Structure 1
Amino acid sequence: MEKIMLSEEIKSLIQLYQHEDADKVAFKKFPQSVDVPFFLQQLSGRKHIAQKVPAWTNCLNDLVFPPHLSFEQASSEITARYKASLVAVDTLLDGTGGLGVDSYFFAHRAKSVSYLEQQASLCHVAKHNFAALGVSNITVTESTVEKYIATMFPVDCIYLDPARRSDRGRKVVSLEDCTPNVLEIIDTLKQKAKIILIKISPMFDVKLAIRSLPDIQAVHIVAVDNECKELLLLIQESVEPERRIYCVNLQSNKENQTLSFTQEQDNDLSIIFTSEIKHYLYEPNVAILKGGYFGTLVTQFSLEKLHPNSHLFTSEGLMVDFPGRIFEVISVIPFHNQSLKKALKGVEKANITVRNFPLTVADIRKKIKLKEGGDVYLFATTLANQEKVCVLCKKTN
């Protein structure tokens, strides 16, 4: 991107069309003096950034935005703040700068941040935007991580968010397929920093990542409003003798949910399986489901699990602090037509969830002819004795 300063003409057009969709605005006619692709890029960027990084909205008129792909992998404000809270350091290298969101929030915690990016256009944008945002402790450098770390002076922390797309634009789901390939440079990284923080896609397998990088001291599985967003791998000089897992659900309007434990501790805890659904049914938040560690959960909240693969839990008493959704069980229905028809008589709507069940939500909805929505919840699942059931329930207050 060669243009950094926004012309008055572009600013006026952004003001004029700020409430319209950029894809629709693209069909309008503009004077020849207007760089239409650049203008549409700015219009779209403002809408994305207002949602993704509210802290930047006061400076929107002075910011410049890169192509959409840079927004796709960029951190949101809520996850960037969380990452920054993990590393209280003086010097930090953000080796995959991108849009600059992470660098910006790291700069509020560290004395000095080095923003590194191999695309010259993104470097120009980042330098302009950091100045517009009033941040003075970030230096911008154009280089690849591999080249830069070979000669750099050591820093307290190196942060990497490897690109998760192949040369053909396809998403990748393994560390060795990312750019940079962390597995190839990990030894150099450890020589250059006491702390290494790596962000990877929520699509990645947590346990496979741990096997690939055995020096990981902590894994943070980060969800926002029950949508898994990031996996964070922390490598540092060991403070604790055992690896710790953090399952975190950052919530916009509620208290955050955090469940933490050591990997060894969770593996040593036994899980009781049951075919008897008691008064309450529990569905863990997506961060816990993603991790796949349930020993600490059942022990801490005195729960029983319905089946090794169902990932639903039950108890007679209400566990109000459970990190996920809690339901009061109305009835447990054997999964065959006559029982379902009788139990669901008078019910016109239901929120259906499938856990370890041979049919999809669409299949079940077609079978029992219920519309989506309402206050009734229906979980189709398999019990420890392999019985297929539908659990009819309602949410607790």
Structure 2
Amino acid sequence: MNKQLLKKEIQQFINANLNADLHSLLLKKSPFPEVSIQEIVQQIKGKQVAQKKFPFLLKEGIIFPPQLNLEQSSSEKTALYKSRILKGKKFIDLTSGFGIDAYYLSESFEEITLVEQNAELLAIVEHNWNVLGRKAKFVNQNLEDFLNENKETYDVIYLDPARRDHNKNKVFLLEDLSPDIIEIQEKLLSISNEAVIKLSPLIDLKYLVSVLPNLFRIDIIALKNDVKEVVVFLSNQNSGKIICHCVNLESHEADFSFDFGSEESAAAEFGEPEKYIYIPNNSVLKAGVFNVISEKFKLKKLHTNTHLYTSNQKITDFPGRILEMEVIEAKQIVKKSQFNIISKNYPLKPEEIKKKYSLKDGGESYLIFTQSKKGKIILKSV
């Protein structure tokens, strides 16, 4: 970690180049002999990422790590969500990385330990926490070695495993992560009441249930309808029942919880479009509880493969969008009109629909191209 980056004139240069062409900047010589142009560009990239993911770090004195460490870091919003559901006395993050999750989670615990094998990255985190006035014990050690030597117990263990292999290709199965979650899960629960693990949004939920015998909770976390994380909770005190929570942060949509496995016994009712069309958010779609949604909210599903629902009543606690719509004929579509176009279980993609009907994208009105049990239909917002 080069603390020369914190010099006033260097910080001024970094801030003045936040919108610069970084490829061109890398071809130039650093105007400061004490820092390289690569180090400067790394700080510019860090601030660019921070503007979107964790703006609380946009303050004087903060140093940013390489881009790969920033990419896997949780956003401020998802970290804040997790901090609201985890609490206790002693907390340890075994793969602290850039420490965004740990920073927010530390607000709910008295004693904090961060373990990170990358000495340079850990030094940056420790420096930043000092700047932010947050205390912790920082341990620079390989996770496996730490677990073998550790004699303490914790209320909560947190992990965010590396999801790239030695060739930097993305991996998803728990046994392919670093650390191997399958291999260490029993060890984790021997020193903690609860282990919480952040995973890829692409992970298969049924696979998780099959390989994690102590699993008792799954949270699917979306941010503005983009699924960002799947977080699993393990405990030796689990009852065998698994609760799944679907949340869509930065929206006004209700959270949705269900018993994992209930989809198999649930039955959907089918029907043609009524006054309101219900579109589940992406955290619910990731959960795959299409029959449960129909049963829980007493909604009719349009088609087996169309995950849209309908009712004549407006149900305000539905976890997704609710649109008042009517069925129209294709000849009623006015060319050059502006619509938000949705295609669900329909042969044409939105771009193809726009081209076919000469439509503009955007605005406040919706067109949904989909299928019901009776065939293809077009729905227009009222």
Place the TM-score, normalised by the shorter chain, in its bin. over 0.9
Residues 381, 15 of structure 1: alpha-carbon distance in 2 compared, 3 angstrom cutoff: closer
The residue number in structure 1 matching 2:52 is 51
The answer to whether residue 40 in structure 2 is matched with residue 35 in structure 1 is no
For residues 149-208 of structure 1, the C-alpha deviation after alignment (integer angstroms, 9 at most, x for no partner) is 122122111111111112111112222221111011111111121100010011111222
The code of the aligned residue for 2:265 comes to D
Equivalenced residue count is 380
2:256 matched residue in structure 1: 259
- After superposition, what is the alpha-carbon deviation per residue over 1:30-60, rounded to whole angstroms, capped at 9, x for unaligned? 4361411111111221232232223333xx2
Is 1:175 the equivalent of 2:163?
Answer: no
Percent identical:
33
Distance in 2 of aligned mates of 1:31 and 1:264: 61
For residue 324 of structure 1, the aligned residue among 306, 320, 323 is: 320
What is the rounded CA distance, in whole Å, between the counterparts of 1:29 and 1:145 in structure 2? 39
Report the aligned-residue RMSD: 2.1
Deviation at 1:353, TM superposition (A): 1.5
- The answer on whether the counterparts of 1:284 and 1:323 sit within 8 Å (CA) in structure 2 is yes
The aligned residue for residue 357 of structure 1 is 346
The structural deviation recorded for 1:227 is 1.0
The equivalent of 1:193 in structure 2 is 192
Letter of the 1:177 counterpart: D
Counterpart residue identity of residue 352, structure 1: I
Whether 2:144 is the aligned partner of 1:146: answer yes
Match among 264, 272, 282 for residue 269 of structure 2? 272
AA of the residue aligned to 1:155: Y
Q: Does residue 11 in structure 1 map to residue 11 in structure 2?
A: yes
Give the direction of change, closer, same or farther, for the CA distance of 1:214–1:261 in structure 2 (3 Å limit): same
Where 2:380 maps in the other structure, the secondary structure is: strand
Aligned-partner residue type, residue 176 of structure 2: D
Report the secondary structure of 1:107's partner residue: helix
Aligned with 2:286 (options 290, 296, 302): 290
Contact 1:242 1:264 (8 Å CA) reproduced: no
Match status 1:391 vs 2:379: yes
Distance 1:61 1:87, change over 3 A: same
Q: 145-154 or 16-25: which moved more? A: 16-25
In structure 2, C-alpha distance between the alignment counterparts of 1:105 and 1:393, rounded to whole Å: 41
Residue equivalent to 1:345: 334
- Following the alignment from structure 2 to structure 1, what is the Cα–Cα distance between the partners of residues 21 and 233? 39
The answer (yes or no) to whether the contact 1:271–1:304 under 8 Å persists in 2 is: yes
Change (3 A) 1:2 1:11: closer
Cα displacement (A) at 1:20: 4.1
- For 1:51-87, what per-residue CA distance to the aligned partner results, in whole angstroms no more than 9, with x for missing partners? 2223333xx2211111111111101111111112222
Give the secondary-structure state (helix, strand or coil) at the position aligned to 1:232: strand
Task: State the match for 2:371 in structure 1.
Answer: 382
Per-residue deviation at 1:94? 0.5
Q: Is the 8 A contact 1:4 1:124 kept in 2?
A: no
- 1:238 Cα deviation (Å)? 3.4
1:237/1:356 CA distance change after superposition, 3 Å: same
Q: CA deviation at 1:300?
A: 3.2
Q: Give the deviation of 1:29 after TM superposition.
A: 5.0
Distance 2:18 2:351 in 1: 38
Q: Which moved more, 1:239-248 or 1:13-22?
A: 13-22
TM-score, with length taken from structure 1 = 0.89
Indicate the larger mover: 315-324 or 221-230.
315-324
Please state how far the C-alpha of 1:19 moved relative to its aligned partner: 5.1
Work out the CA distance in 2 between the residues paired with 1:330 and 1:112: 57
